[in-house]
């Protein structure tokens, strides 16, 4: 099959796990003999050219909270419109790629920042089949104006966009549908995955000596709310209860001075360390050195690959009991779960420190399950099946690229005029 | 209990020239007494209503505290129930995979078991296939 992968970012330019998964899926499909081309944005920092990666889209950066908060309301609205709804330049780039590559199917990933709604509308207009990998509530975000779901956009999204959706968890699917954006077509929940060869078995678990705990997030700040503050507070509670044979290493890029201050304020410098950001492969390899992986993320977390990667290395994940990954791992069988509070996490860790929870069998099972059921080799045939089924879709009644581009230009201008009139008139 | 007999103010015993003023006040008080008494009744009624409203307010606060505690408790219970539900989902997915694997193993010829790697195509998510039909206009 000729597969065009569409993503806002592509490694080495990444924000989180979504883009990494995109690359892993593209590589896996290529290894299975498909002709895969990636259409993404110009990188935000220099990166080496790759023959199968076209970086011709333009990114509208809406992830800089600082500049977004400081901008005037009209600028913020115009930026969001270009990022979420329509960017005619990107529609033109997509049309060019469709014309040149002639894909059988488009494998869609994250669309925020590139005028996602218009790109999907373009595919719809040309009747190009697509499969949308949903690692986040992207349809809901695309239909939002100023942070609130626009019912008209959501209704039209549900009415017009018909295709294959692959949400990574049932909780994500529920969240999207309860928000009002109904997914119309074939919907199958398929989990995220891990990659790489089988690692050596985890040796020398905690046995009353020193418990090595890890936590990780791509970006450590309060906006993304991965619960790193809860991990630090749990460490403080444990120390206050007299436990001193543990250490907590936190990996990730710290964007928020709140976290170093928190560690200082609790006086935890001797046992909590901010280790900074590591390349993905190095980070995964490091998990073998830890016994427990804390993941006290927010309840709305769509999946959370990091605990799965830790599990594959035999590092037992201790996760919030209602995040996305919690519906894939079983409590006390191959992970530990706790309510999302520092006290609850501290309680579970203290049970490990007291010896009432034995990590070794949980870690062994977690590693086996992760490798057996969540390896990309297991997952990719299911995605491939969706791509194949989608590619057989009839293209009868398709519009022309000229029409699609003209409509995109019209929508872009109309959107700008409406924003100007509503805010400046 | 509030002393609402405001008209007695300044009518106490006095000496010297002030006695005359007090006598005058007492005279006026005698003349206006029915009006003052009615006014006291009105004040008393307002006081009663205010006391009742304060009592109700206190009761409502108490009920609200109780409901808040109950809401928090229910929220916690719901979180636990949801957590149990997702754990159940994970468990069922795992059982589904095991059943598939068992069936595949049982279907193998007597000569030997299939290596586990041959059975990898079975995912942990068979029960989640959620297919919908498109709108009639598609």
Percentage of residues in chain A having pLDDT higher than 70:
99
Q: What is the DSSP letter of B28?
A: H
- Contact residues, chain B, for A375 at CB < 8 Å: 120
C-alpha A38/C-alpha B48 separation (Å) is: 78
**Lowest-pLDDT range of A30-39, A228-237, A276-285, B59-68:** A276-285
Residue with tokens 């014309």: A99
Please tell me which residue of chain A has the smallest CA distance to B118.
A378
How many other CB atoms sit within 10 Å of the CB of residue B4?
Answer: 16
pLDDT band at B129 (very low <50, low <70, confident <90, very high): very low
Mean pLDDT of chain A: 93
Angle at which helices A359-373 and A305-312 cross, to 10°: 110
C-alpha A136/C-alpha A283 separation (Å) is: 23
CA distance A141 to chain B (A): 22
Nearest to B86 among A326, A372, A374 (CB): A326
Residue with the larger pLDDT of the pair A33 and A147? A33
Q: What is the DSSP letter of A85?
A: I
pLDDT value at residue B111: 52
ipTM: 0.82
Per-residue pLDDT, averaged over A128-155, amounts to 93
pLDDT band at A70 (very low <50, low <70, confident <90, very high): confident
- How many Cα atoms are found within 13 Å in the side-chain-facing hemisphere of A34? 28
Contact A227, A296 (CB under 8 A): yes
> Is the Cα torsion angle A161, A167, A170, A174 positive or negative in sign?
negative
pLDDT value at residue A131: 97
Is residue A35 pLDDT above 70, yes or no?
yes
Residue with tokens 């870690």: A363
CB interface of A with B, residues 377-416, below 8 Å = 377-379, 381-382
Q: What is the pLDDT of residues A326-381, one digit of tens each?
A: 999 999 999 999 999 999 999 999 999 998 999 999 999 999 999 999 999 999 99
Tell me whether A269 touches chain B (CB under 8 Å). Answer: no
Q: Locate A325 and state its tokens.
A: 């990954």
pLDDT value at residue B95: 92
**A322/B82 CB distance under 8 A:** yes
Q: Locate A139 and state its tokens.
A: 């349809």
- Nearest 5°: CA angle at A323, between B70 and A246? 95
- Contact residues, chain B, for A337 at CB < 8 Å: 83, 87
CA distance A379 to chain B (A): 7
Q: What is the pTM of this model?
A: 0.83
Mutate one of A162, A323, A334, A343 to test the B interface: name it (highest B CB count within 10 A).
A162
Q: What is the pLDDT of residues A10-19, one digit of tens each?
A: 999 988 889 9
pLDDT band at A201 (very low <50, low <70, confident <90, very high): confident
Percentage of residues in chain A having pLDDT higher than 90:
82
CA distance A116 to chain B (A): 21
Residue with the larger pLDDT of the pair A280 and A264? A264
pLDDT value at residue B112: 52
Nearest to A162 among B97, B123, B138 (CB): B138
pLDDT value at residue A207: 65
pLDDT value at residue B122: 41
C-alpha A75/C-alpha A82 separation (Å) is: 11
pLDDT value at residue A110: 96
Per-residue pLDDT, averaged over A108-137, amounts to 96
pLDDT value at residue A425: 67
């Amino acid at each position: 099959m000729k597969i065009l992968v569409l993503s806002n970012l592509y490694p080495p330019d990444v924000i989180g796990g979504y883009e990494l998964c995109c690359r892993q899926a593209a590589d896996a499909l290529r290894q299975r003999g498909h002709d895969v081309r990636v259409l993404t944005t110009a990188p935000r920092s220099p990166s080496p050219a790759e023959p199968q990666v076209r970086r011709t889209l333009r990114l509208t950066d809406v992830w800089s909270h600082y500049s977004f908060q400081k901008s005037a309301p009209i600028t913020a609205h115009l930026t969001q419109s270009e990022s979420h709804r329509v960017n005619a330049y990107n529609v033109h780039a997509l049309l060019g790629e469709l014309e040149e590559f002639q894909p059988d199917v488009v494998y869609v990933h994250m669309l925020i920042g590139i005028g996602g709604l218009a790109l999907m509308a373009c595919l719809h207009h040309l009747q190009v089949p697509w499969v949308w990998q949903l690692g986040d509530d992207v349809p809901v975000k695309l239909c939002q104006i100023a942070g609130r779901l626009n019912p008209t956009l959501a209704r039209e999204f549900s009415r017009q966009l018909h295709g294959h959706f692959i949400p990574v968890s049932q909780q994500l699917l529920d969240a999207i549908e309860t928000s009002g954006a109904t997914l119309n077509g074939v919907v199958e929940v398929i989990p995220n995955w891990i990659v790489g060869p089988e690692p050596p078995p985890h040796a020398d678990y905690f046995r009353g000596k020193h418990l090595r705990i890890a936590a990780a997030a791509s970006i450590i700040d309060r906006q993304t709310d991965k619960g790193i503050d809860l991990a630090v507070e749990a460490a403080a509670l444990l120390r206050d209860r007299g436990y001193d044979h543990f250490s907590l290493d936190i990996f990730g890029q710290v964007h928020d001075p709140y976290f170093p201050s928190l560690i200082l304020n609790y006086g935890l410098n001797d046992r909590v360390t901010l280790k900074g950001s590591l390349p993905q492969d190095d980070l995964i390899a490091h998990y073998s050195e830890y016994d427990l992986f804390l993941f006290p993320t927010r309840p709305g977390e769509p999946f959370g690959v990091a605990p799965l990667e830790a599990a594959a290395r035999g590092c037992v994940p201790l996760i919030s009991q209602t995040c996305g990954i919690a519906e894939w791992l079983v409590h006390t069988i191959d992970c530990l779960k706790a309510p999302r509070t520092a006290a609850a996490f501290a309680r579970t860790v203290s049970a490990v420190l007291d010896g009432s929870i034995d990590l070794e069998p949980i870690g062994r099972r977690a590693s086996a399950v992760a490798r057996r059921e969540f390896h990309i080799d297991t997952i990719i045939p299911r995605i491939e099946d969706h791509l194949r089924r989608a590619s057989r879709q009839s293209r009868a009644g398709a519009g022309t690229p000229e029409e699609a581009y003209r409509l995109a230009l019209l929508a872009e201008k109309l959107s700008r005029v409406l924003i100007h009139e509503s805010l400046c008139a | 209990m509030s002393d609402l007999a405001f008209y007695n103010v300044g009518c106490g015993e006095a000496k010297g020239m002030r006695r005359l003023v007090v006598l005058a006040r007492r005279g006026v008080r005698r003349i206006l007494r029915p009006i003052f008494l009615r006014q006291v009744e009105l004040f008393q009624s307002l006081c009663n209503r205010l006391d009742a409203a304060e009592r109700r307010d206190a009761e409502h606060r108490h009920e609200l505290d109780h409901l808040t505690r109950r809401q928090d408790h229910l929220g916690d219970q719901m979180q636990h129930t949801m957590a149990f539900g997702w754990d159940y989902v994970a468990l069922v997915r795992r059982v589904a995979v095991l059943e598939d694997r068992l069936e595949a193993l049982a279907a193998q010829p007597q000569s030997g078991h299939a290596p586990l790697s041959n059975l990898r195509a079975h995912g942990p998510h068979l029960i989640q296939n959620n297919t919908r039909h498109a709108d009639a206009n598609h």
